[in-house]
Amino acid sequence: MAKQKQPGEPRTLHDYVLWAERQFDKAGLYFGHGTDNARDEAVWLAMHVLDIPYEALDAEVSRALTPGEAAQFRALVEQRIATRKPLAYLLNEAWFAGLKFYVDERVIVPRSLIGDFVHDRFAPWIKPDGVARILDLCTGSGCIAIAAAFSFPEARVDAADISRAALDVARINVEQHDLHDRVELVESDLFSNLAGRRYDLILTNPPYVDARDMAALPDEYRHEPELALASGESGLDDIIRILAAAPEHLTPGGALIAEVGNSCTALARRFPSVPFVWLTNPNGDESVFLLGEEELRRHAARFAR
């Protein structure tokens, strides 16, 4: 949709998207929970209110909103500005790996960069035919577990989280995607309740925000559960525990794939001799690493210190 100034009150879909964009920009909102700019946030809001897919937007730009649609649109814009809640919470929806998920403030909004690799089944690093058991550790909304279940249709998936409230949200998503027969939810502090279970692939987007970054987070992040974000002074508390325990839960030749966000630099500095394979996403980000079972065992003593 071309960006043009519209005189008077908004009337059409096009008008409302531009109006919302201006309101968001003027309010100084932070974007990072499904969009990264005011225009995309306004478009997402329009898609929700009018219940239309993205590919239908161009055909609907001149559509006049009904009074009810206009009132709902305005109310959501006002809520977004007044509360600083991520739009995903206001709409109770988020998108991950091309799939729609229910979300609320019991879980963080899905945005893991693991989603950039799951469609291709982590090629060329993983041999998909050898993956029969998958673990999504710190599953939250269940988005990674569910995306993995679709990408590996022959595999069974465990989705573990320390938070019973988060697992209640994950259960909603498992049911909505009709995967209750292949995705098992497990309440567990990392591997504590997974004794004896081994996996060909462990995926995790654990807490990794360090104390300094936690103190500086924009208001939007304050609506997310701190339990799913904070990981000690360095941001490495949880990932080091995962590295130490993962070998006992991987099959021979299995692999751990983890996202560590801004803590990737701290992790590499902490373990300079560990050959982390940093996966590069289409935007050049390298905050997701892969380590094979053999390498994890070789460096187990370092992680246990």
The CATH number covering residue 124 comes to: 3.40.50.150
In terms of domains, do 23 and 132 share one? no
In terms of domains, do 20 and 167 share one? no
pLDDT at 107 over 90: yes
Q: pLDDT per residue over 225-254, tens digit each?
A: 999 999 999 999 999 999 999 999 999 999
How much is the mean pLDDT over the chain? Answer: 95
In terms of domains, do 287 and 235 share one? yes
Q: Which of 48-57, 67-76, 263-272 has the lowest mean pLDDT?
A: 48-57
In terms of domains, do 85 and 181 share one? no
Q: Is 96 within the bounds of a domain?
A: no
pLDDT at 267 over 60: yes
Q: Is 5 within the bounds of a domain?
A: no
pTM, 2 dp: 0.94
Distance from C-alpha of 207 to C-alpha of 193, rounded to nearest angstrom: 19
In terms of domains, do 196 and 286 share one? yes
Please report which confidence band the pLDDT of residue 2 belongs to, taking 50, 70 and 90 as the band edges.
very low
Q: Is 8 within the bounds of a domain?
A: no
| CATH number of residue 74's parent domain | 1.10.8
In terms of domains, do 261 and 141 share one? yes
In terms of domains, do 213 and 293 share one? yes
Q: Is 120 within the bounds of a domain?
A: yes
Q: Is 6 within the bounds of a domain?
A: no
3-state secondary structure of 12: strand
The structural domain count of the chain equals 2
Among 58, 91, 124, the domain boundary falls at 91
In terms of domains, do 252 and 123 share one? yes
Mean pLDDT, rounded, for 190-202: 98
In terms of domains, do 273 and 186 share one? yes
Among 91, 112, 138, the domain boundary falls at 91
In terms of domains, do 67 and 183 share one? no
3-state secondary structure of 106: coil
Q: Is 99 within the bounds of a domain?
A: no
pLDDT of residue 7: 54
Length of the chain equals: 305
Range of the domain at 64: 13-91
In terms of domains, do 190 and 295 share one? yes
Distance from C-alpha of 80 to C-alpha of 219, rounded to nearest angstrom: 11
Mean pLDDT, rounded, for 18-40: 97
Q: Which of 29-33, 50-54, 209-213 has the lowest mean pLDDT?
A: 50-54
Among 51, 68, 91, the domain boundary falls at 91
Distance from C-alpha of 173 to C-alpha of 208, rounded to nearest angstrom: 24
Q: Is 253 within the bounds of a domain?
A: yes
In terms of domains, do 62 and 173 share one? no
Give me the DSSP letters along 16-73: HHHHHHHHHHHHT----SS-SSHHHHHHHHHHHHHT--GGGHHHHTTPBPPHHHHHHH
Q: Is 39 within the bounds of a domain?
A: yes
